[in-house]
Chains A and B, each alone.
Chain A
Amino acid sequence: MMRKSQALEANALDPMTTHPVMIRKIIWENDDTFTLTLDMSGFAGGFRFLPGQFNMVYVYGVGEAAVSISSDPARPGTLDHTIHRVGLVTTSLAQKKRGDMIGIRGPFGSSWSIDVARGKDICIASGGIGLAPLRPVIYSLLKKREDFGRIIVLYGGRSPLDLLYRVELEKWASDANVEVLVTVDRGDSSWKGHIGVVTSLFQYIKLDARETVAYVCGPEIMMKYTIDELDRRGVPQSQTYLSMERNMKCAVGFCGHCQFGPTFICKEGPVYPLPRVRHLLDRKEL
């Protein structure tokens, strides 16, 4: 597997230099969240990255934001970023159109450890926009489906209209031998699926805990309760990984904006093995 430093080297990029790229497509996933597909054909051999890594996405004249990469690592000619419109930069990105230019630098950060999951069952638990950084993992797992045991995707959203990648979720469930369970916090009469928090989905699956690797991404409070649920079911902490999020500026460990206890999320994270950060999750205002 390519390591994180190799990913940068593979693209032969200076981590502090922003590269102009063209927006090839914009898909609105819901009222506030959209996926930008960027044309990476200007990079020789495409843009190489690992599942779980992020880029700094730059709107010229406005500013930069860290955004997880949500596309298939095996298709380096294009790059997807799924973005929630919440601040100045992301609101500016939301106003962009096909053919507009933006800047990116990256990829940065650690990745989901897929090799450790070989031969094991995989439980992917995600909430809200947390499915975005896990989508490259799902693509990668499906490319080598026979190398893994069960693949279980648990996904929670606020409402049916807020769910990301609905078509793909259905496709994975029907075509790819993946157990997909989706829940929403609030449903309406047209919604036939589960209603309840994402942790409530665990009661519908039976985990072979010692043989399960878990990847968790979502709001921190959701990850905390999901980890409790995995603990209760006996999944070893050493086999649980989670992705953390903080505001980032430099993305290379200089500025300290993303400090999380003794680590910088941009360098050591965003993906951590649980034992590395378990003790930090309960600390206030960290």
Chain B
Amino acid sequence: MEKEDLSEIMRQHPFLAGLSFEHMQTLIGCATNVRFADNATIIQEGQIANKFYLIRSGRIALQMDVPGKESLRIQTVGPGEILGWSWLISPYRWHFSAIAVLDTRAIALDGECLRNKCEKECSFGYEMLRRLSQVMERRLEATRLQLIDLYDLTTSGAKR
């Protein structure tokens, strides 16, 4: 895919909305277009985290491997969302696995390439971190809600 096409696709992704032209150019140098078939393993828990994905279409399930049991699916991410931030945080290893549950298209960004650019260019690094923090905050809030177990009526006030 031509860099101009990639740039256009990336510009439309909500995670990059409003990103400056210069920062976009910095990102494009680390980007490739990827496609995952249904059931493909995208990320394996414990492996080196060297990628960051901007999802364009499809659906990906995040799951944790539980010894002696079936893997536990904890969240899905879809079009307009991102997958993976462990590339940014030492020790750069995935804390979960990710499986495509539908045919999925995404832009893959090379984690090491991105890290190097974040180190060299502080304003770019800040912009990436700022955007990732917003995603982390939303996901933390959602995780808290999941922990509450909203639908457990045995603990609600209305026992009839």
* Residues in A lying within 8 Å of B, measured CB to CB: 65-67, 84, 86-90, 127-129, 156-158, 162, 183, 185-189, 191-197, 199-200, 203-204, 218-219, 221-222, 225, 245-247
Contact = CB atoms under 8 A, between A and B. Distances in A.
Interface in B48-100: 59, 61, 70-76, 78-81
Interface of A is mostly: mixed
Contacts of A193: 76
Interface of B is mostly: loop
Q: Which of B151, B156, B158 has its CB near the most chain A CB atoms (within 10 A)?
A: B151
Interface stretch (B20-28, B105-113, B115-123, B141-149): B141-149
B151 A127 contact: yes
A87 B148 CA distance: 21
Contacts of B157: 246-247
Contacts of A203: 80-81
Contact of B145 (A65, A197, A245): A197
Nearest to B148: A221
B153 A86 contact: yes
B102 interface: yes
A220 B73 CA distance: 25
Contact of B142 (A129, A157, A196, A204): A196
Contacts of B148: 221
B159 A127 contact: no
A87 B160 contact: yes
B153 A128 contact: yes
A185 B76 contact: no
B79 A66 contact: no
A158 B149 contact: yes
B158 A225 contact: no
B159 to A, nearest CB: 4
A91 to B, nearest CB: 9
A195 B63 CA distance: 10
Given A187-B73, A192-B102, A199-B142, A90 B150 contact: no
A128 B70 CA distance: 25
Contacts of A90: 160
4 closest A-B pairs by beta carbon, nearest first, are A65-B160, A128-B151, A87-B159, A187-B73
